[in-house]
Amino acid sequence: MTFLDRFLQKWRIRKAMPYIPDQSVVLDIGCHEGELFQQLGSTLGYGVGIDPLLEKDVIHSKYELLKDLFPSERTENKIYHCITMLAVLEHIPHDDQIKTIYACFELLHKEGVIILTVPHKKVDTILSILRKLHLIKGMQLNEHYGFDALEIPRLFENGGFTFVVHKKFQLGLNNLFVFKK
């Protein structure tokens, strides 16, 4: 990842953090290297991260990172207070998005929240230019599938979730959504 990739990642994490209850058990889908858990620090109860791009499983005292796709049987042994998908949903094909949403609903505590960030569809053009200039590296633009963030409320409400908040950030080019079970 480049400096700009990390900067944007930290910005997404900072936007999500206020909605993560203190001392909660958190499932971070698309966890990368566990940066969310590291930034949560002592406010994290326990974390489980899952990401198919990890080199191998990693175990820490406050969290574990699993090299796997979601949904996975490896995440089913816990009830989570919070599930995060920061810059992840747009990389999942549409049919698998629905399966992912239902799996999240099943794993989430009865009063749990799901937090996600998704870019505006215009961001693909900007990211393509930044990648050509070698300013970003970690973006899999070919996986965005023409995703439109305006679909998010309908997708999650159809999956049983209740809408809580939608905020735009990064000059309106990114979206934060929070839903509760």
CATH number at residue 123: 3.40.50.150
**C-beta neighbour count of 90 within 10 angstroms:** 24
CB 35 within 8 A of CB 10: yes
User: What is the model's pTM?
Assistant: 0.89
Residue-number span of the structural domain to which 113 is assigned: 3-18+26-180
* pLDDT number for residue 90: 87
Domain count across the chain: 1
Comparing 4-13, 45-54, 94-103, 129-138, the range with the smallest average pLDDT is 129-138
Q: Is the pLDDT of residue 112 over 90?
A: yes
H/E element holding 95?
helix 94-107
Which residues, in sequence order, are bridge partners of residue 115? 84, 178
- For the stretch 1-29, pLDDT in tens is 778 778 889 999 999 999 999 999 999 99
Quote the mean pLDDT of the chain. Answer: 89
* pLDDT number for residue 119: 87
Q: Is the pLDDT of residue 97 over 80?
A: yes
pLDDT higher for 109 or 145?
109
- For the stretch 125-158, pLDDT in tens is 656 666 666 656 655 544 445 567 888 999 999 9
Listed residue (92, 22, 15) closest to 50, CA to CA: 92
Q: What is the pLDDT averaged over residues 84-96?
A: 90
